[in-house]
Amino acid sequence: MSWTATARYGLEPAPGGLAFVQDLLNTRSAGKPREPDLLQTVEGARAWLDQALKSWSGATQRSAPGIELTAEDAQGLRDFRNDLDQILQARTGDSAPQPGLAASLMTLPTALRLDEHGAIHAEPRGTGWRQVASLALIEAYQAQYTDTLRRLKSCRNTRCLTAFYDRSRNNSGVWHDVRVCGNAANLRNYRARKRAGADQV
């Protein structure tokens, strides 16, 4: 499976369908140096979605829905991505929820289907970006149910913001890559402490 947005940052994808949510978040312009926004154009959004749905199907062993995106859908998908990211960051305590946030999350249709084996599946409904958003929220809900959603985080380095899956034993990770972002932040803090100490002399 190839999660193209997440692979740009050299990261291991989240388990199962949660990787779809991670990959959606990683379509934004992030990392060091900055990668381009994969949803900036409708062509880019379609290319990302085609690959992401194939990877989702492989990860979940389910048939991928057919979703068509228009130019307006690309903007809607970018808005949804931003709202979803801020809500997930608020859940992990990395930021406070903002007033008026998440207008894109209010009306997303979902259907429940009983298969021939008696298993119940949630399926995305709607069209365009709303169908993509419905699929992402279904996967986020299932990850919340299995207590893995809290491990999906954005890098604390505000110059990076890459979405990563925290595999640390106690879920204490804050950097997408300690060597890239953690060491840089520690060095900045060390220099700031030295300057503060020099000013007091």
pTM recorded for the entire structure: 0.85
Q: Could you tell me which residue, 96 or 23, shows the higher pLDDT?
A: 23
Q: What is the distance between the alpha carbons of residues 197 and 69, in angstroms, rounded to a whole number?
A: 56
Tokens in use for 157?
């380095």
Helix (H, G, I), strand (E, B) or coil at 161: coil
pLDDT computed for residue 190 by the predictor: 45
Task: Say yes or no to pLDDT of 70 above 50.
Answer: yes
∠ CA 82-101-41, rounded to 5°: 30
For 163, list phi and psi in degrees, rounded to 5. -85, 125
pLDDT computed for residue 157 by the predictor: 85
Phi-psi region of 162 (alpha: psi -120 to 50; beta: other; left: phi over 0): beta
pLDDT computed for residue 173 by the predictor: 85
Residue type, 47: A
Task: Say yes or no to pLDDT of 130 above 90.
Answer: yes
Does residue 33 have a cis bond before it (omega within 30 degrees)? yes
Q: Which domains does the chain have, with CATH numbers?
A: 4-200 (1.10.3300.10)
User: For 81-90, 120-129, 139-148, 175-184, which range has the lowest pLDDT when averaged over its residues?
Assistant: 175-184
